[in-house]
Amino acid sequence: MSASRDACAAVLRTEAITKVYRSGLIEVQALRGVDLSLQPAEIVVLLGASGSGKSTLVNILGGLDRPTEGRVLFHGRDIARLPEAALTAFRRAHVGFVFQFYNLVPSLTARENVALVTEIAADPMRPEEALERVGLGHRLDHFPAELSGGEQQRVAIARAIAKRPEILLCDEPTGALDSATGVTVLAALVEVNRDLGAATAIITHNAAIARIAHRVLYMADGRIAREERNAVRAEPSEVTW
Ligand code: ADP
Ligand code: MG
Per-residue pLDDT tens over the stretch 178-230? 999 999 999 999 999 999 999 999 999 999 999 999 999 999 999 999 999 99
Q: Give pTM, 2 decimals.
A: 0.95
* Secondary structure of residue 78 in the 3-state scheme: strand
What contacts 130, CB < 8 A, 6 or more positions away?
A: 114, 118, 158, 159, 161, 162
Cβ neighbors of 66 (< 8 A, separation 6 or more) are: 60, 80, 81, 87
Residue 153 pLDDT > 70: yes
Distance, first Cα to last Cα, the chain: 34
> What per-residue confidence (pLDDT) applies to 155?
98
Could you give the angle at which helices 110-118 and 149-161 cross, rounded to 10 degrees?
20
| CB-based pocket (< 6 A), ligand 1 | 21, 28, 30, 48, 50-56
DSSP state of 115: H
Give the model confidence (pLDDT) of 24-82 as tens digits.
Answer: 999 999 999 999 999 999 999 999 999 999 999 999 999 999 999 999 999 999 999 99
Q: How far is the CA of 53 from the centre of ligand 1 (A)?
A: 6
Pocket residue to mutate for ligand 1, from 20, 25, 56, most atoms within 8 A of Cβ? 56
pLDDT tens digits, one per residue of 8-21: 589 999 999 999 99
Residue pLDDT, tens place only, 88-133? 999 999 999 999 999 999 999 999 999 999 888 888 999 999 999 9
User: Would you list the DSSP string of 187-237?
Assistant: HHHHHHHHHH--EEEEEES-GGGGGG-SEEEEEETTEEEEEEE-SSPPPGG
SS3 of 139, please? Answer: coil
30 CA distance to ligand 1 middle (Å):
6
In angstroms, rounded to a whole number, what is the distance separating the alpha carbons of residues 132 and 123?
A: 18
> Over the stretch 62-75, which tens digit does the pLDDT of each residue have?
999 999 999 999 99
Task: Kindly give the number of the ligand 1 atom that is closest to the alpha carbon of 203.
Answer: 2
The whole-number pLDDT of residue 120 equals 83
**CATH number 3.40.50.300 is the correct assignment for the domain at 38-67+77-238:** yes
Which residue is closest in CA terms to ligand 1's atom 12? 30
> What does the pLDDT read at residue 2?
47
